[in-house]
Amino acid sequence: MNFARRTAQASSDLLLPQLTALMAYHRQACPAYARVLEATGHPRTRRYQQLAELPWLPVRLFKEHALVSTAADPVTTLTSSGTTGAGASRIALDREAAERQRHMLIATLVNLVGPQRLPLLIIDAPSAVRQQRATIRGATVLGVMNIGRDPVFALDEDLEVNAVAIDHFLQRHAGSDFLIFGFTFLVWSRFYSYVRSRAADLSHAVLLHTGGWKKLADQAVTAEVFRGGFREHTGLTRCHNFYGMVEQGGTIHVESASGDGLYCPDHADVIIRDPLTWQEAAIGTLGVIEVLSTTPRAHPGHILLTEDLGMLLGVDDGEWPGKRFAVAGRLPKAEPRGCSDTLAQGVVS
């Protein structure tokens, strides 16, 4: 599948008017956001020529303040899965915003895997969707379930391998395409060890995984080791990491099958900024990741400066058109709060 379809310039040309209009919408709908814009040199009258000129909010704001752009009753408040709660973002969603996120996530995944719902093996416990739906972990599992059929959970409630479930799933779907989804740390620490020991054939699988790499990096498991291990021992070649965050739900940046970087979906973009000058960092230079998305409607999360370090790897020169980038980890002072970091701590300690 050709996941990213536009060149970087075409994408930017398309997104600039949409994001400018969205800024105006949030300025109207969220007085606190309007005050931030006024105070940072972005009055109503200002015009923009490039995405990089648009004002961003630091994601940390959503941990400290309730920024809301909807008068409707929130249907849910999504939190990042921080264990303490102190460092968690709380994002209010009304029904329309929640549906919009769901549709954007599904459209992105359909671009990647096609319109047919394939059998789905979820590397998580069944309670991930039943009890954790208000966390980004549960919401992500549930979101991915929309593109799968006959979902099977590969782990038990203690997050240990459910060998019977996995074996039965692989037998049942042997020889035809199927999906595997899970958080990166669980996929590696639970599922990979098991399928490797069983010499399972995953050559028909598409693996989607997400979440931080911190715990794996501590074990010297890099993206290359991860992909190479699956390829060599299970025959799995279609492996896609994706990057997203609760403050911009429904927007995920997806790694190409060849692993040459993360690519933005149709409705989003990314800018890497030099932390000293805040100018756009050159290709190959480490900086702070800014994410832009036309999805957020119930909170002003459309342009965010993340607490993640990253690097632009290239522009219109990879497997797909558009920018390709890599995430290099958290900013040194940032608290860990991502799904897999939290899971990792919970599981390992």
Which residue stretch of 13-21, 34-42, 147-155, 320-328 sits at the interface with other proteins (rule: CB under 8 A)?
A: 147-155
- The answer to whether residue 98 forms part of the interface with other proteins (CB under 8 A) is yes
4 touches 255 (CB < 8 A): no
- The answer to whether residue 165 forms part of the interface with other proteins (CB under 8 A) is no
The smaller minimum CB distance to other proteins, of residues 75 and 159, is found at: 75
Q: How many helices (H) and strands (E) does the chain have?
A: 12, 14
Near other proteins by CB under 8 A: residue from 68, 121, 136, 147: 147
Report the nearest approach of other proteins to the CB of residue 117 (Å): 5
Near other proteins by CB under 8 A: residue from 149, 217, 222, 284: 149
88 touches 63 (CB < 8 A): yes
- The answer to whether residue 95 forms part of the interface with other proteins (CB under 8 A) is yes
Near other proteins by CB under 8 A: residue from 145, 286, 313, 315: 145
- The answer to whether residue 146 forms part of the interface with other proteins (CB under 8 A) is yes
List the beta strands (DSSP E) in the chain: 57-58, 76-79, 90-93, 118-123, 148-153, 178-183, 205-210, 238-243, 253-255, 262-263, 268-273, 286-293, 303-315, 323-330
The smaller minimum CB distance to other proteins, of residues 145 and 161, is found at: 145
First vs last Cα of the chain: how many Å apart? 40
SS3 content of the chain, % helix, strand, coil (to 5): 35, 25, 40
The smaller minimum CB distance to other proteins, of residues 15 and 109, is found at: 109
The smaller minimum CB distance to other proteins, of residues 143 and 261, is found at: 143
C-alpha to C-alpha distance for 123 and 300, rounded to whole angstroms: 32
Q: Which x/- pattern over 100-139 shows residues binding other proteins (rule: CB under 8 A)?
A: --xx--x--xx----xxx-----------xx--x------
Report the nearest approach of other proteins to the CB of residue 139 (Å): 8
**Total number of residues binding other proteins (CB under 8 A)?**
22
Report the nearest approach of other proteins to the CB of residue 148 (Å): 9
C-alpha to C-alpha distance for 290 and 259, rounded to whole angstroms: 21
Handedness of CA 249, 138, 328, 342 (dihedral sign): positive
Which residue stretch of 146-154, 180-188, 232-240, 250-258 sits at the interface with other proteins (rule: CB under 8 A)?
A: 146-154
- The answer to whether residue 261 forms part of the interface with other proteins (CB under 8 A) is no
- The answer to whether residue 99 forms part of the interface with other proteins (CB under 8 A) is yes
Report the nearest approach of other proteins to the CB of residue 95 (Å): 6
- The answer to whether residue 298 forms part of the interface with other proteins (CB under 8 A) is no
Classify each residue of 297-309 as buried b or exposed e, where b means 16 or more C-beta atoms within 10 Å of its C-beta.
bbbbbbbbbbbbb
- The CA distances from residue 106 to 101, 140, 211, in Å, are 9, 11, 18
- The CA distances from residue 141 to 61, 70, 72, 164, 206, in Å, are 26, 26, 26, 21, 15
Q: At what angle do helices 8-29 and 31-39 cross, to 10 degrees?
A: 120
Name the residues that contact other proteins, by CB under 8 A. Answer: 75, 95, 98-99, 102-103, 106, 109-110, 115-117, 129-130, 133, 142, 145-147, 149-151
